[in-house]
Amino acid sequence: MNCKTIKFLTLLMSALIAVALSSCGSDNKKTVETDGPAIDVKNTDTAKIEKATQWYDAVGTIRPRTETSIESQVPAQIIKVMIASGSKVKRGDTLFVLDSRQFSARLGSAKEGLKAAQAAREQANQGLIAAKANFAQAESEYARVKKYFETEAATRQQLEQAKANFITAQSSVKQAREALIAAEAGIKQAGEGINEANIAQGYTVIKAPDSGEILRRMAEPGDMAMPGKPLAVMRTSGALRIEVFVREGLISKVSPGMELNVEIKTLGSQAKAIVNEVVPYADPKTRTFLVKAQLPPMEGVFPGMYGKLLIPVSENDVVTIPAKAVKTVGQIQTVLVKDKERWTSRFIKTGLAMGDRVEVLSGLSGHETVGY
């Protein structure tokens, strides 16, 4: 027989032994006696009883700590798109260019309005000068006629006419001043119109509000940009966090400032995360609370990835042995246990790994000497 056949028969015999033993009772400590001298035991250790933490895996998503939605302030067609998903941008970099023709026309109209208002002010100023000159003449004439009337050198009719001319000139000065004030207001309004047109035209070039990375681009050239419609989403800092949902029965075990283990299953790595926010409101549909925990810098971690936050639930006494002591054949796990002066092979069932040791769910009760 070749080596493959011998190996297959060995596995088959081990499986048959396991089945036979499992049918002979419910004793968890099933052993297979082995001739002591034939066993090569180089290392020994003790099955220890240790405190083990039971964890609750709160699943969630990796998200940027600071996420900014890029939107247009004015309705216009997109002419140019300067970014793509994943682009690195700096503060002030151009992201989108919109059609500015309508805003240029509005700016031109506002400038023409300013010119008209300035012309109206000039005209009102000239009118005020003329009204003041006419008023000065009417005032002088009224004073002269009044003096003559007192010496009976002028008639009452002449006095009343001079007085009427004086009042009319005074009213003209008042009207000229009001016209000048209105012209000044027109200039101010035209200036505000120019400022608004300049601002609106400036909105046609959309720039990065801060340095960061474009996470998603949601617009293409030719699309219509509208206020409230996101064009892109960018991460404005390198910090990431995990957002998970914790069921209401365990939320009391989580508080801001706690340091918890986070597991990124895709990368097969773990890190420490600090809880920085617990939203004090339960989703009425899922009966869960939103918890946000800050992640340390981690290579290969990107927003949107799947992760788990490990929340401690309780501590229990468990039996542990060195992971190297466990022998596995198919689904059968055994360990060498010293019984007086002999080594016996005992069937066990292992649980969670605990560093270089492993939890034993059944087969050992603790304090046994194991070899490997």
CATH superfamily of 101-202: Helix Hairpins (1.10.287.620)
Q: Give, for 88, the enclosing helix (H) or strand (E).
A: strand 88-89
Q: Please name every residue paired with 216 in a beta bridge, in sequence order, or none if there are none.
A: 233
Q: Which CATH class is domain 67-99+204-235?
A: mainly beta
The ranges assigned to domains in the chain are 24-50+316-371, 58-66+236-314, 67-99+204-235, 101-202
pLDDT the model gives residue 22: 41
Burial class (CB in 10 A: 0-12, 13-18, 19+), 62: buried
Would you say residue 301 has pLDDT above 60? yes
pTM: 0.51
Would you say residue 111 has pLDDT above 50? yes
Does the fold of domain 101-202 match that of domain 67-99+204-235?
no
What is the CATH number assigned to the segment(s) 24-50+316-371? 2.40.420.20
What is the band of 31 on the pLDDT scale with cuts at 50, 70, 90?
Answer: very low
CATH superfamily of 58-66+236-314: Efflux pump adaptor protein, beta barrel domain (2.40.30.170)
Would you say residue 18 has pLDDT above 80? no
Question: Helix/strand/coil (H, E, C) string of 172-228?
Answer: HHHHHHHHHHHHHHHHHHHHHHHHHHHHHHHCCEEECCCCEEEEEECCCCCCEECCC
What is the band of 13 on the pLDDT scale with cuts at 50, 70, 90?
Answer: low
**Rg, the chain, Cα only:** 45
